[in-house]
Structure 1
Amino acid sequence: MSTAFLFPGQGSQSVGMGAELFSRFPNIVEQSDEILGYSIVELCSREDATDLNLTNFTQPALYVVSCLQAKALLEEGKSPKFAAGHSVGEFAALQCAGAFSFSDGLQMVAKRGEIMSKVSGGGMAAVIGMDADKISVVLDEQGADQIDLANFNSPGQIVISGPASQITQVLSPLKDSGARMVVPLKVSGAFHSRMMNEPAAEFAVFLQNFTFSLPQFPVFSNVEAQPYLITESIPELLIKQIFSPVRWTEVIQGLRQNGVEEFIECGPGKVLTKLLRQIP
């Protein structure tokens, strides 16, 4: 039976995440603290989740916890044949497959979170129970020409992203046109949209400081919904990912077509596990 490790993105973070892993891998925790300049244990254990929910803290915290969980599973004998990560989770997936070191990945994710958090004025909303074509029609009717389809999480769950004013403008029209639910997301920016073009350009410069290796087993990219085939495509697609849609439905379908029968979510929560049931 083929196994795939899945690594979650923002929205999966929670107070107390990683507690048992931090005590199991103190050397990696110490390394993380040195890179980040603050205590990852304190950040994740603080009762007030305000900081943990800020993009520049959320992304590195998720990366550390997800990488540690994957390491624990590997030590326990689990052997993934494939991996994939949702948005920032893709970095942990690539690290698990040996595309770069833990420390290099953490530096990349910390920079990614920092530059993405600087773009203000954006918003996102999850549209439940309406397909992409219908959503696009409603956006056109409303003149919401700056909104992009950002996450194809399942056939019945698509996330839109763009200027906060336009997101607010289309909430009721989408509901009135047949969406079962339209839920504004608690995020600080319009991720995976054209509003992220500038951060992506800054990230491209930063990634020139790192070297990459071909993954030791296939890792499906968010941008192409296909495995990385050449080393050069890793930084290229990680840059594009910031302003491109997450094609998660196609990623899961591609994994299944490659014979994956067991999916293990490496990270806090069960967001990706629940989505599996919604993807044919």
Structure 2
Amino acid sequence: MTTLIHLFPGQGSQQRGMGRDLFPRFPRLVAEASDILGYDLAALCLEDAEARLGRTEFTQPALYAVEALGHLARVEDSGRAPDFVAGHSLGEYAALFAAEAFDFATGLRLVQKRGALMGAVSGGGMMAALGLPLERLQSLLAADPGLASVDLANQNAPLQTVLAGPVAALEAAGLAIDAAGGRAIPLNVRTAFHSRHMAPVRAEFSGFLDGIDFAPLMLPVIANASGLPHRDGEVALRLAAQIDQPVRWVESVQYLLDEPDPEFLEIGPGQVLTRLLTDIRKAPVPANIARRF
């Protein structure tokens, strides 16, 4: 029998129209979400008349809700729960919901707070570095003292790493990447997510997490901050660390690829994680490479 693994994408996967087939199936949860958020969840996702879906404070609750409902629908339709779950950045919250670490409403309040804190931060940015392996990218950054403020934020695939830091330093890093034969693509983000520059947000969010009771996990959930399964009693610690630490996606997927006959299913809008999975399968890297961040 295959090992069924549900994957949940993070911010950037949102799109207008998401949830169209899900909202009529779960009217009670949709109404509950709208009450908690203070606005109409379905109208935001389906119409986005005020162009708010791309703003972090709206994106995160909306995407979590759609992915959580998508998980419920998939289990209901297939009659089979996944054996493992993992989510990229924000997607980790949908994964934890699937593992019953908290109920739908608690998860929504968590991402509402997370999105509000992260959305309030400005200054800095992010850049995708394509075509260079992690070691080469690390060498480039280490060789220039002017790039010391740039962090490795996400290792998405063996040849795709996202950098975060001050805009001027990122621009300089982009020139070095291009000169080394890679390709640097600035992302439409005005905050250095998953980097040391988010430490104040981590501190505030950590205090919020202290008030949450996390239930024992009913499924193994891979933690972004470690690339290994969450352990009961440490979920809040790992979620706080996720704010200013890199997303170890390559390492997370490699851990799952070691399971017997793994079958991956992306739950959420788009297929970004499915494409990354293909890249990771084609060009595997040593399992400990992301630990050198």
* TM tier, smaller: over 0.9
Q: Give the match for residue 286 of structure 2.
A: none
TM-score (norm 1): 0.96
Identity %: 44
Contact preservation (8 Å) 1:197, 1:243: yes
Deviations 1:61-107 (A, max 9, x none): 11000000000011111320000000010010001110111111100
In structure 2, distance between residues paired with 1:187 and 1:58: 13
Count of aligned pairs between the two proteins? 278
In structure 2, distance between residues paired with 1:145 and 1:62: 33
1:152 aligns with 2:158: no
Deviation at 1:14, TM superposition (A): 0.5
Q: Give the match for residue 15 of structure 1.
A: 16
In structure 2, distance between residues paired with 1:40 and 1:144: 41
Q: Which amino acid aligns with 1:85?
A: G
In structure 2, distance between residues paired with 1:188 and 1:46: 25
4+ aligned runs moved over 3 Å, structure 1: 47-50
Q: Give the match for residue 63 of structure 2.
A: 62
In structure 2, distance between residues paired with 1:220 and 1:3: 14
Contact preservation (8 Å) 1:9, 1:86: yes
Alignment of 1:148-187 (within 5 A): 148-179=151-182, 181-187=183-189
Task: Give secondary structure in 2 for the equivalent of 1:278.
Answer: helix
Q: Give the match for residue 220 of structure 2.
A: 218
Q: Mean Cα displacement is larger for which, 195-204 or 71-80?
A: 71-80
1:270/1:81 CA distance change after superposition, 3 Å: same
In structure 2, distance between residues paired with 1:260 and 1:226: 19
Deviation at 1:48, TM superposition (A): 5.6
Deviations 1:112-134 (A, max 9, x none): 01101111111001111101222
1:126 aligns with 2:131: no
Q: Give the match for residue 228 of structure 1.
A: 230
Q: Which amino acid aligns with 1:176?
A: A
Task: Give secondary structure in 2 for the equivalent of 1:158.
Answer: strand
1:241 aligns with 2:242: yes
1:239/1:47 CA distance change after superposition, 3 Å: closer
Contact preservation (8 Å) 1:55, 1:188: no
Deviation at 1:204, TM superposition (A): 0.7
Q: Give the match for residue 291 of structure 2.
A: none
1:49/1:158 CA distance change after superposition, 3 Å: farther
Deviations 1:168-213 (A, max 9, x none): 222222111110x211111231110001100010001111221001
TM-score (norm 2): 0.92
In structure 2, runs of 5+ residues without a counterpart are 282-293
Q: Mean Cα displacement is larger for which, 150-159 or 46-55?
A: 46-55
In structure 1, distance between residues paired with 2:170 and 2:85: 32
Q: CA RMSD in A?
A: 1.3
Deviation at 1:165, TM superposition (A): 2.0
Q: Which amino acid aligns with 2:71?
A: A
Q: Give the match for residue 192 of structure 1.
A: 194
Deviation at 1:47, TM superposition (A): 5.3
Deviation at 1:260, TM superposition (A): 4.9
In structure 2, distance between residues paired with 1:7 and 1:267: 6
Deviation at 1:23, TM superposition (A): 1.4
Contact preservation (8 Å) 1:117, 1:188: no
In structure 2, distance between residues paired with 1:187 and 1:111: 19
Task: Give secondary structure in 2 for the equivalent of 1:104.
Answer: helix
In structure 2, distance between residues paired with 1:196 and 1:83: 26
Q: Mean Cα displacement is larger for which, 129-138 or 91-100?
A: 129-138
In structure 1, runs of 5+ residues without a counterpart are none
1:137/1:55 CA distance change after superposition, 3 Å: same
Q: Give the match for residue 98 of structure 2.
A: 96
In structure 1, distance between residues paired with 2:179 and 2:81: 47
Q: Which amino acid aligns with 2:28?
A: N
